């Protein structure tokens, strides 16, 4: 797909590895002012810290975070900020297979598919899964971790977590729009599959 601008929004990519396969999750933040190189680096650094302090401790030691990258989506040549995010998950349990993920849903005040986003979280500890069902404590802890990101300026001053809508009624928008995230939830307690993360693929 050709580049589509999303004014005043940064895409933050959380990169990790499990069994030598790449895992990627993207989250988005809207800036309350101008986006600068230092502001992107600060955002990436804060997300990397969040991964290390709040997310990774819930995941298997078989998964490791490797980097966080924030890019300005305002233009195809937008600024970039990066931060290392090295470190394994905090649970001494074998991870579920690479394709197994917990689907965390991002909700906004807007109804419809355009008003929702999600992350497929990798590195689920096997001790947190019974057959296909995630443990209630794991679900609540994961939701609580993502809630830390929600709110205007509450996670990082000058930034607010958003969902990016690129289409409406099946047609591409001229530019993407940002919708503030108001709620985090798990729609079901069941694991989901990301086939692109299977051995030999990785994403």
136-185: pLDDT as tens digits: 999 999 999 999 999 999 999 999 999 998 766 676 777 889 999 999 99
Segment 47-52 shows an average pLDDT of 97
41 in a domain, yes or no?
yes
174 in a domain, yes or no?
yes
156 in a domain, yes or no?
yes
Q: What's residue 174's pLDDT? A: 73
203 in a domain, yes or no?
no
Q: Please tell me the total count of domains within the chain.
A: 1
Angle subtended at Cα 188 by Cα 136 and Cα 163, rounded to the nearest 5 degrees:
110
Helices within 9-90 (DSSP H only) = 37-50
68 in a domain, yes or no?
yes
2 in a domain, yes or no?
no
Give the residue with greater pLDDT, 196 vs 101: 101
4 in a domain, yes or no?
no
Q: For residue 54, what are the domain limits?
A: 9-197
Segment 59-74 shows an average pLDDT of 97
Report the alpha-carbon distance of residue 141 to residue 18 in Å, rounded.
Answer: 21
Report the alpha-carbon distance of residue 78 to residue 162 in Å, rounded.
Answer: 18
The structure's pTM equals 0.92
């Amino acid at each position: 797909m050709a580049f589509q601008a999303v004014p005043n929004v940064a895409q933050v990519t959380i990169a990790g590895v499990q069994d030598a396969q790449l895992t990627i999750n993207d989250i988005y933040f809207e800036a309350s002012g101008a986006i600068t190189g230092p502001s992107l680096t600060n955002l990436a650094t804060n997300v990397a810290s969040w991964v290390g302090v709040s997310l990774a401790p819930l995941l298997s030691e078989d998964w490791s975070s490797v980097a966080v990258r924030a890019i300005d989506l305002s233009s195809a040549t937008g600024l970039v900020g990066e931060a290392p995010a090295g470190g394994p998950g905090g649970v001494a349990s074998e991870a579920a297979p690479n394709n197994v993920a917990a689907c965390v849903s991002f909700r906004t005040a807007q109804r419809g598919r355009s008003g929702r986003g999600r992350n497929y979280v990798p590195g689920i500890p096997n001790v947190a899964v019974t057959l296909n069902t995630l443990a209630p404590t794991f679900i609540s802890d994961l939701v609580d971790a993502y809630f830390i990101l929600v709110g205007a300026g509450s996670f990082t001053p000058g930034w607010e977590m958003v969902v990016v809508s690129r289409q409406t009624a099946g047609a591409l928008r001229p530019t993407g729009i940002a919708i503030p995230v108001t709620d985090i939830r798990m729609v079901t307690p069941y694991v989901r599959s990301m086939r692109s993360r299977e051995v030999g693929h990785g994403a």
